Structure 1
Amino acid sequence: MTTFRDELRLLADQAPEVDLAERTVRAVRRRRTALLGSVAAGLTALALAAATLLVPSGGATTITGRIADALPPSGVDAAAYAYYDWCGKQWEPSRNTASFAGLDCTQWRLVTRTGQQFRVPEAVSVFTEQTPENYMNTAAPLVISTDGRRIAYYSDKDQRYAVRDLADGRIWLTPDDLPRALVAKQGTAARLSPEGRFLGLGNTVVDMETGQATPVPENWWVESIGGGGSPILVRDAFDRLGVLEGGKVRTIVESTGQPRTFSQPSPDGRLVAYLDGAMTDGRNDVIRPYDTVVTVDAATGQEVSRARFREAPEKFHPIRMGGWKSASEVTVPLPIHEGSSKNPPTLGAVTYGIDTGTGRVRELETYAYRARSGDLSLPGF
C-alpha cells in the first residue's frame, strides 16, 4: 500500500520549479528553464529586508527592522503577503547559512491586509542546516490561500505540513510524518485551494479537514486545485495539463514541445488559462517570450478563447500565473530587479491582470524593496 509519505518521497524527481530560484531544475525541463532565464531570480526568489511595500488600494506599508510579535493563537486578519529576509544581512549559500540558526529574524513574517505584522515561529523558513550539497533547497514554503484566510507551511514541531486558519486558529496536519531532513534535502512544492481546505504536495492532494489523501498517478504532480477541491489540475514534465478524475489523469492540454505556464482554475472551476506563444531553440535560448493568453474548458480541454496581449508595458514578459482577479481576468507577476551589486538592489514584483477575452493588460499592485535575499509569498500564487 502506498502511504502519504511514500508519495512525498517522490517529490525530488517530480516537483516543478516553485518559489525559489535556487531550486534545482530538472534536466527534462530545460526548455522551460531557458524561458525563465535571468528574470526568474527576481521573481521566484523575491527578497525582502527593511523595505516598503506599495499597494495602490491601501497606500504604503513600511516593513521595519523590528522583530515582529509571534502570530497569536487566533483573531488574525486575512493575509496580504508573507516574507523572510535572512535578517536583512548578506547570505552566502553554503558558507554562512548555519550562523542564522535559531534567530527569530529568519522566521516567516506574515503581514495582514490591515497592516499588522507577525512572526510565524512554527513555520520552517530557511534551512539553516544546509550543506554545500543541498544548499540550493533554500527554504520551506509558506503558501497563502487566495482569500488570505488560511496559510500552509511545514511545521518543525509536528514534522508534517500544516494548514492554519488565521481567524479561529484551527490547525490541520497532513496524515503522516515527513522528516525535516527529507524536506530540507528534497524540497516541496505546496499548492492550496482558494479557500485553503485542500493541500497539494507533489503527487498527493490532502483534504486537510478530513485527512483523506488522494494520490496522483506517477509522473504527474499537482499544478493547482479549484475551490472546494475540484477540479484538481495536474501537470507532467512535458507541460501537458490534465484533470485528475477517479484516480486517473485525463489530458486536457497537450504538449507542443514549447513551454507553457498555467493559472489556477477560474472561480467557478469551469476554465483554466495558460500563457502561450513562447519559443525556444535547440540550444534552450529564448527566441520569443509569451505573447498570448488562452483559456480552455477545464472539463473537456476545448479552447474557449485566445487573445494576444494588448496595451502591455514595454518588456512585458510574464513567466508565471496566479489566480483570477475576476471571472474574465487572470493575474501574473513580473519581477523588479534594479540597482548595482555593490548596494542592496531594489527587488520585488508588479502584478498585472490580463483580460482573457481581449488580451488587455493592466497594472494591479507593486511590491518594491531593497534587499539581497529572501522570499515573498502572495495569496493565490
Structure 2
Amino acid sequence: MRKPAILALSAAATMALTPLAGAAQAEARTGAVSATASSASPVRYAWLKSCHKKDDYFPCGSWHLLLRDGRDSVLKDAAVFSRTAKGKIDKQSHAPVSVSGDGRHVSYFRQKDGLLAVRDVTTNKVRVLPRAVSKPPKGLGTGDLATTLSRDGGLLTVDYYDEDDKVPSLLVNVRTGKVSKIPAKVTVLGFSPDGKHLLVTQGTAENTSRFSVYDQDGRQTDTQVVPQVVANNSPMALADDGASVAVLITTTSGRQRLRVYDLSNDTVGEAVDVRVPKKESARRLEWTPDGGLTLWETLDSAKTGETTGVVVRGLDAGTGATTKLDSFRVKSSLWTWWLPGE
C-alpha cells in the first residue's frame, strides 16, 4: 500500500504554470504515447508484478491495468522503477501510479522523459504535465512522493516525503495547469466525488487529530479536532457537501459498522451495521451522488494474508444494506496494486 501522503494545506498563494508546449501539447491532444489499443472500459485495478532471485524481491515487468471487461492493458510508456534524487534508477522501488475513482484515468511518470502524465484509458488521450510539476524538489527522487487523482481525473496531488516536512506538496489542475502549493504537515485522506473538496488530517500537540477540508485552490473551508472513533478508523470518504465524512469501523469481532461524521457541526451519527460477509475486509469507500456509498471489500488468504479478490458493493448509508456491483480476482505475487481512487 502507498505510505501516507504527508501534506499540509493552507491558503497558500497559487501559481499558474506555463501551458503545455510543443510536442507535449500535441501529445496531450492526440494521445500519441505508445500503449495498447484504446478501450471504452474503465480500470478495476492497476498492478505491478513481483520477481525474486534467491531471497531478493523486486518489482518487474510493466505496469498493467485490469479493465472492467476482463482485458489486461499494458502501460508501456509508464516508468516501472523510481529514480533517486541524483537521477539513478532504483530497482528496489516502484515509480508512483494512481487511478482515478471513476477508473477512467491513470497518472504515472513516463519512462522516456520522466514527465508526469495523466492518461484517459477509455480514449487513450494523454495530458503531459509541465516539468515544473514533474521534477521532484532538490534532494528528493520519485520514490519520495505519491500521487492521487480526483474521481474524474481533473485534479492531482503530488505529495513529497522529506524528513523535515518542509517541502510543499502540490495540488494540480490537470486541465489548466494551475497549481496550489501545499505545505507539508498534513496527510491527504481523499477528494470528494465531485473533486471540489479535499479532506486532510493532521496530528495535534495534544495527541489528537484535526480534520480539515480545502477547496480546489488550496483554501481551507472547514476544520475540526475530531472524535477518536472517527480518527482511528478507516476507510473513510468525504461527500460532495464538504462536511459529511463516512467512516467504516471494523469491530474486534470482525463486524463492520458505518458512522457518518458531520465536520461542520462536529457530530457523529449513530452506528449502522453493514451487511457483508464476515470474511470480507473493507479497503475503500466513496460517496455516490444519490447519498449512498460504494464500498470495495477484499478477500484475503487466511494462510498468507495476500489479497485474492475484491467485491464492490453499493451501501445504503441509512440501513447498512449492500448490493453486489462487481467482483474480480486479484493476481498473486504482486509487488503492488491500486484500486480506483487510490
Q: TM-score if structure 2 supplies the norm length?
A: 0.68
How many positions carry a matched residue from both structures? 292
Q: Give the distance between the partners of 1:340 and 1:275, measured in 2 at CA.
A: 25
Cα 1:252–1:229 shift into 2, 3 Å: same
Question: Which AA in structure 2 matches 1:337?
Answer: D
Cα shift readout 1:230-255 (whole Å, capped 9, x = no counterpart): 11211224553211256447324615
Q: Report if aligned partners of 1:227, 1:269 keep a CA contact under 8 Å in 2.
A: no
Aligned to 1:111: 66
**1 or 2, which has the higher helix percentage?**
1
Deviation of residue 199 (structure 1)?
0.6
Secondary structure in 1 matching 2:260: strand
Secondary structure in 1 matching 2:294: strand
Which residue of 346, 349, 352 maps to 2:310? 349
Cα 1:270–1:151 shift into 2, 3 Å: same
What 5-or-longer segments of structure 2 have no aligned partner?
Answer: 7-33, 160-168
Which residue of 56, 61, 64 maps to 1:95? 56
- State yes or no: 1:196 paired with 2:168: no
Deviation of residue 184 (structure 1)?
4.8
Q: Report if aligned partners of 1:306, 1:357 keep a CA contact under 8 Å in 2.
A: no
Cα 1:266–1:338 shift into 2, 3 Å: same
Question: Where does 1:17-166 land on structure 2 (aligned, <5 Å)?
Answer: 19-20=1-2, 71-72=35-36, 75-86=38-49, 90-91=51-52, 95=56, 97=58, 100=60, 106-127=61-82, 138-166=93-121
Q: Give the distance between the partners of 2:191 and 2:120, measured in 1 at CA.
A: 18
Aligned to 1:251: 223
Deviation of residue 191 (structure 1)?
1.9
Deviation of residue 275 (structure 1)?
2.3
Secondary structure in 2 matching 1:176: helix
Cα shift readout 1:313-352 (whole Å, capped 9, x = no counterpart): 225542x3232355233233333233766xx977233333
Secondary structure in 2 matching 1:371: coil
**1 or 2, which has the higher strand percentage?**
2
Aligned to 2:294: 331
Computed over aligned residues only, the root mean square deviation of the Cα atoms, in angstroms, reads 4.0
Secondary structure in 2 matching 1:119: strand
Query: Identity of counterpart residues, as a percentage?
Result: 22
Which residue of 193, 212, 216 maps to 2:182? 216
Secondary structure in 2 matching 1:331: strand
Q: Give the distance between the partners of 1:24 and 1:221, measured in 2 at CA.
A: 6
Which residue of 300, 304, 308 maps to 2:272? 308
Question: Which AA in structure 1 matches 2:78?
Answer: A
Aligned to 1:4: none
Aligned to 2:14: none
Q: Report if aligned partners of 1:217, 1:248 keep a CA contact under 8 Å in 2.
A: no
Cα 1:303–1:154 shift into 2, 3 Å: farther
Aligned to 1:292: 257
Q: Which fold has the larger relative contact order, with Cα–Cα distance below 8 Å and residues 6 or more apart in sequence?
A: 1
What 5-or-longer segments of structure 1 have no aligned partner?
Answer: 1-18, 27-69, 101-105, 279-286
Q: Give the distance between the partners of 2:140 and 2:296, measured in 1 at CA.
A: 30
